[in-house]
Structure 1
Amino acid sequence: MKSGSECGGGESLFEDRDFPPEDASLFCDRSTPIARVQGHVTWRRPQEICRSPALFPDNVDLAHAKQGLLGDCWFLCASSFLLNNKHLLNKAVPPDQPEWGDGRYRGAFSFRFWQQGHWTEVTIDDRLPCIDSTLCFSRCLSPNAFWVALLEKAYAKLHGSYERLWAGQVSEALVDLTGGLAEHWSLGDFGSGEEQRAGEDSDRVRRRRLDLSLLDPVKDLCAISCSSHTGAGAAELGRCHALTVTEWLDVKTSSGRKVLLLRIRNPWGRCGSGGAWIGSSGAGWSSVDPVSALDLQSRLAEGEFWLDETEFLSQFDDVTVGYPISEEGHLKSIYTGNPLTHSHQLPGRWIKGHSAGGSRNSAGYGSNPKFWLKVCERGEVLVSLLQHRKRRNTHDYAQIPLDDSENTKHRRYQAIALHMWKVEKKRFNLSRKLNKPPRASTHCHAYEREVVLRGRLEPGYFLLVPSVYQPGAEAHFLIRVFSSSSISLSAIKSPAPSLPWRTDGEWETSSFQGSWVEGSTAGGSRNFPSHWQNPRFPFTVCGDAAAAPANVRVTLHQSRPDSDLLPIGFHVYKCKKGELEPTLPRDEGPVASCVPHCHTHDVSLACCLSPGAYTIVPSAYEPGSAGQFTLSLARQIHRKVVKSQESLGRAIQEISHISAMRS
């Protein structure tokens, strides 16, 4: 490896301690095919891979992604959209970062991802996983360009490991990279009209029968991806693969009829085969003027091919459409092309025993969170409900396993829906209103990260009710509203929740007040040497060495306005025996981490820790970020069962009642 002086300065190159070049950064449970590379991966910086590395090549066609061993075609399809939108690219990949050969280069790069309503910055070093001297995951078509590989690494850090990027939704990556909105349509045959009328409403049928011509007003501005799930798609594509639609146009044949052709890019970097328009000898080209045929064929870059509309509809199962975003940051409707210049967002949460009321089938539906939407003038309105992904710790020794469902979306998300009612005034009978048909809804609960409803709304008040299908299911969410006219959004206050009744044992909870003080205890994240100045909170998991690990939940809370939130996170360190604080945490590293830092009121981590002494180090991302915080620590207590001949009589009931009142 080259020294720091050889790379443009006397200082050593940055090494990211939160995402080190180790197996923990590659794998989460070794359940995917990349497990076979274990033991064969070396981590190299770009200057060790090629002579003249750069973030982007001079030829933009060579900047597109080529998929490696990792099954993240969904992320690469979304990434390619950035290349056609400079303002979006600059948001995700901040410009003017010192590159190789620059005297300011220190081996570090920063990227931004939109997470739960805010942009989160993720800083990484440029050590990339290779097999021999070749990148083993995604790369650019140009061997000297590294923006794709570095962006992929930052996204892997955001998720906890590279393996967590195996399989996903293009719509999720589009939102994470742009902060915008994406919708999903199925292209398959859903039975007879009679079957559809019996089981679905007209709007859902319309969405499933999407006509691509509806997107004509924004076809050059929006992101479009197509996916195959059944294995019956384009030849050589197999199943569960996503591709990008880069262009579509009507072509006039020699007989005078029009054929809709779509240009498709495969992240694998190779074309399909067997279609009428594949290659230069496909049967379809003979029906087109030779000059037009040559022009269309010349547009193809590596991994691209043409399909006509019939082939497209037969070979793919669904389409994902990302909304265009103007340079001013406004969404454009994919239905009308209208700019949606007004937007609001508010966070919320479903809490068991308080606000997790379940679907409209449940008697508790009315206890779900509720929001007021005020529409000031008639206009096009989009409302989205975005839930936070269920998180789990990547460390084997600090992990609470998820259920064994084969459907990954079921494991990652709750089944959610959003309903909206028009109300004449703010005071109304809630149960009576909820028993009436809604003005608009997402119609059914879906295991999706985000669901969207749309409509042209007249001025007035609207009641929004987001719900999870299963009563008692907990999750955080974000309500977002985009409109062509003036709107306002506010939460309807609910009574404070009572303490939930836990059936999984006793818990002991402690809370600590703390602060980050500029120049003293505001040390920033582990990417900065001053990290160790942050406040520290020691705690103990009781038991001897043979005792079973204990469940622990740590929550870090900041009380600040939504517009002024700090990106916060924390690490848990194991202390040496007999010491209150870790003496060499830089070398030992944390046993559990709630990172990357997020702009949110609360960050929380549930983990399983063996008996011993630990220390929690909470931090804001940037050194010098001052603020107050509350740290809550809940530890599960396992008590031995005491055998007794006593019956539960009145005296015991009275004592229990008094004890409860005193607590």
Structure 2
Amino acid sequence: MKEEEEGKAECEGESLFEDPDFPPEDTSLYFDRSTPIARLQGSITWLRPQELCQTPALFPENINLGHAKQGLLGDCWFLCACTFLLKNKHLLNKVLLPDQPQWGGSRYRGSFQFRFWQQGHWTNVNIDDRLPCINSTLCFSRCLSPSAFWVALLEKAYAKLHGSYERLWAGQVSEALVDFTGSLAERWSLGDLGSEEEQKPEQDSDEVRRRRLDLNLIHSVKDECAISCSTHSSPGGASELGQYHALSVMEWSDVKTLIGSELLLLRIRNPWGRCCWGGAWKESGAGWSSVDKVSASDLQSRVAEGEFWLDETEFMSQFDDVTIGYPITEDGHLKSIYTGNLLSHKHQMAGRWLKGHSAGGSRNSSSYSSNPKYWLKVCERGEVLVSLLQHRKWRHTEKYAQTPRGSGDNTKHQHYQAIALHMWKVEKKRFSLSRTLNKPPCASTHCHAYDREVVLHGQLEPGYYLLIPSTYQPGAEARFLIRVFASSSTSLCALKSPAPSLPLITDGEWETSFFQGSWVEGATAGGSRNFPSHWQNPSFPFTVCAESAETSGVNVRVTLHQSRPDTDLHPIGFHIYKVPEAAPEQTLPRDKDPVASCVPHCYTQDVSLSCRLSAGTYTIVPSTYQPDCSAEFTLSLARKIHRKVVKSQEMLGRAIQEISHISVMQS
């Protein structure tokens, strides 16, 4: 007894981890206080599980009591994905790393580690176990068992990833499924296509059609894939649900009726943890009289808290759409929901749409051909899935923050571009881009949709295929990830477009210098001017001569390029400081404001600034936004030089000069 008390005292002592990046404060709860949880302000306290019950654990002994129950936060979409994790231990272990120290153990220090798939890579998120409560009870999601805490901790880690709990209010099940598994998820329509004017995506020159779900299509993988159904309006049999609610399909069963006909029943789970169904298959509904008593008793015995049965007709009429998450094996391979085939060959490439360069818009636009382009090589006939996943628009430069999701389709438009993916089969050796684009594509996503991810599917013959991802509006900027999953051997590479034309310099000559540098954690990664360590960043002195300063217009151009993949960029920027004449070389003027700045810090490969500087000595200080972000970088400095151009009649020399200029432009 004495040892238990000492262990408890140690667990409750100062040695327990307290997360400084996600503290028990309003900043972790709220984004803009636009949701109903804003009414909870001032009522919430943060408690550790051992303060809520005597024997906390991640999972209960009865795993059925480990299912999630929704609290005061509108994140049913997140909880539907949690249900799929609980049914697939190998996927759960990927998100919640096994063998972590728990309460009562000697290694417990009050912290837990989670992993989420983000834009092509797994991201670690560490949290402490202080959870938001009201009157010593969890106020957000929890397990059916009051002593199990895996759901509450996972919800906290996911909230930290998004920036706050409030940012989890309303979302798409498909996004949580992909974030938890690295798999694919597709949304299928169940409703009347003609009555959804407000949900129609942007139209382009292709036929617009939303796919309707045929349950027979996924019958072969029904026990392996994640299935969720959702409502956009109040359904008749589940009028209690109201609008925008997602539920999990736990099981579907083929049943024979007393008259010998086949009947498909589906067992549905409501994240609220209570039954809300008033149809023919409720506990005492009329539907059970059409099935023999043994089958009826067996099916009803499977219903847990918050679950109910309904038949296929009710399912198709009462819900608006279905989200299907692709099965993924323990080896990490995707399985097709169309055929059950193992898609063991996969590739991914990051890209972006840049205004004025590669944001060409839809096929209606004359600039469509400037969109990014990719070669897909199919070595032998097989099933191929290609997904286009866009990054959510960022508003801040915090490490994890992303913009919030609203409940309606209109809010999606604030955070995502309308995107589509088109594919043409081509003869690579005789390839003409203009002629190819004048032909209809062999496959496409058919319309531009305001979704995070769109998926193209087909059985492809061997050969080369041209892939073009696009936004609907020309000039719309975003980063994206192309992913390919195939049953046979494939390869994916970017089609190298000609280097963009640089503005012609007709007002004199320019001299360009290149500098290599690096931000090193704990040494030269000082962060932005918001941090005292800013002056630890590398600095690069240069001089503007009097002759160059006398000319009119821009006389200095600076470009900073970070050497990191598109999927793992730091926010970068730089400042230019003028060095006083009497100051020693390499001395930074810490008491002076910069004379020019390239801010705010942006998540991009390159940032540039053109400016006019007077004669004198200057220094450039490039930085990441946060300190201790390590990366290699290149700084290019172009200065206008004042000298007359000597015209030469020697054509060979002129040709060499032109070739040199071109090589610099393309490097």
Under a length normalisation based on structure 2, what TM-score does the superposition of the two structures give?
Answer: 0.76
The answer for unaligned runs of 5 or more in structure 2 is 504-513, 540-558, 575-588, 592-599, 608-621, 637-667
Counterpart selection for 2:368 from 347, 365, 368 = 365
Task: Provide closer, same or farther for how the CA distance between residues 326 and 27 of structure 1 changes in structure 2, counting only shifts above 3 A.
Answer: same
Residue of structure 2 in register with 1:208 after alignment:
211
CA displacement 1:170-215 (0-9 Å, x = unmatched) = 00110000000001100012259xxx9xx9999976x633211211
1:335 aligned onto 2:338: yes
Report if aligned partners of 2:420, 2:454 keep a CA contact under 8 Å in 1.
yes
Q: How many angstroms apart in 2 are the aligned matches of 1:535 and 1:243?
A: 53
1:455 aligned onto 2:470: no
Deviation at 1:232, TM superposition (A): 2.7
Report if aligned partners of 2:518, 2:633 keep a CA contact under 8 Å in 1.
yes
Tell me which amino acid in the other structure corresponds to 2:244. C
Task: Provide closer, same or farther for how the CA distance between residues 615 and 323 of structure 1 changes in structure 2, counting only shifts above 3 A.
Answer: closer
Tell me which amino acid in the other structure corresponds to 1:264. I
Deviation at 1:301, TM superposition (A): 1.0
Report if aligned partners of 1:269, 1:302 keep a CA contact under 8 Å in 2.
yes
CA displacement 1:94-137 (0-9 Å, x = unmatched) = 11111111111111111111000100111111111111211111
Deviation at 1:441, TM superposition (A): 0.3
Q: How many angstroms apart in 2 are the aligned matches of 1:22 and 1:603?
A: 36
Q: How many angstroms apart in 2 are the aligned matches of 1:106 and 1:216?
A: 46
**1:105-120 alignment, distance < 5 Å:** 105-120=108-123
Deviation at 1:561, TM superposition (A): 6.4
Residue of structure 2 in register with 1:78 after alignment:
81
Residue of structure 2 in register with 1:257 after alignment:
261
Partner of 2:174, secondary structure, is helix
Task: Provide closer, same or farther for how the CA distance between residues 406 and 452 of structure 1 changes in structure 2, counting only shifts above 3 A.
Answer: closer
Tell me which amino acid in the other structure corresponds to 1:270. R
Q: How many residues align?
A: 559
Q: How many angstroms apart in 2 are the aligned matches of 1:73 and 1:39?
A: 24
Residue of structure 2 in register with 1:515 after alignment:
518
Task: Provide closer, same or farther for how the CA distance between residues 147 and 631 of structure 1 changes in structure 2, counting only shifts above 3 A.
Answer: farther
Deviation at 1:393, TM superposition (A): 2.8
1:31 aligned onto 2:34: yes
Partner of 2:229, secondary structure, is strand
Which one has a bigger Cα radius of gyration?
2
Tell me which amino acid in the other structure corresponds to 2:259. S
Counterpart selection for 2:442 from 426, 436, 439 = 439
Residue of structure 2 in register with 1:52 after alignment:
55
Q: How many angstroms apart in 1 are the aligned matches of 2:625 and 2:403?
A: 21
CA displacement 1:321-340 (0-9 Å, x = unmatched) = 00000111000000000000
Q: How many angstroms apart in 2 are the aligned matches of 1:400 and 1:190?
A: 30
Partner of 2:19, secondary structure, is coil
Counterpart selection for 1:467 from 470, 475, 492 = 470
Q: How many angstroms apart in 2 are the aligned matches of 1:465 and 1:567?
A: 23
Report if aligned partners of 2:254, 2:264 keep a CA contact under 8 Å in 1.
yes
Tell me which amino acid in the other structure corresponds to 2:273. G
1:489 aligned onto 2:492: yes
CA displacement 1:393-424 (0-9 Å, x = unmatched) = 399xx999999997111011000000000001
Q: How many angstroms apart in 2 are the aligned matches of 1:400 and 1:449?
A: 13
Report if aligned partners of 1:183, 1:320 keep a CA contact under 8 Å in 2.
yes
Residue of structure 2 in register with 1:246 after alignment:
250
CA displacement 1:466-499 (0-9 Å, x = unmatched) = 0000000000000000000000000112344568
Partner of 2:248, secondary structure, is strand
Residue of structure 2 in register with 1:235 after alignment:
239
Residue of structure 1 in register with 2:64 after alignment:
61
Q: How many angstroms apart in 2 are the aligned matches of 1:404 and 1:244?
A: 18
Tell me which amino acid in the other structure corresponds to 1:366. S
- Superposed CA RMSD in Å reads 4.0
Deviation at 1:4, TM superposition (A): 8.9
Deviation at 1:34, TM superposition (A): 0.7
Tell me which amino acid in the other structure corresponds to 1:421. W
Report if aligned partners of 1:7, 1:100 keep a CA contact under 8 Å in 2.
no
Deviation at 1:235, TM superposition (A): 2.7
Task: Provide closer, same or farther for how the CA distance between residues 536 and 616 of structure 1 changes in structure 2, counting only shifts above 3 A.
Answer: farther
Report if aligned partners of 1:405, 1:411 keep a CA contact under 8 Å in 2.
no
Task: Provide closer, same or farther for how the CA distance between residues 571 and 355 of structure 1 changes in structure 2, counting only shifts above 3 A.
Answer: closer
**1:148-167 alignment, distance < 5 Å:** 148-167=151-170
Partner of 1:151, secondary structure, is helix
Under a length normalisation based on structure 1, what TM-score does the superposition of the two structures give?
Answer: 0.76
Residue of structure 2 in register with 1:421 after alignment:
424
CA displacement 1:534-560 (0-9 Å, x = unmatched) = 985599xxxxxxxxxxxxxxx997425
Deviation at 1:515, TM superposition (A): 3.4
Deviation at 1:457, TM superposition (A): 0.4
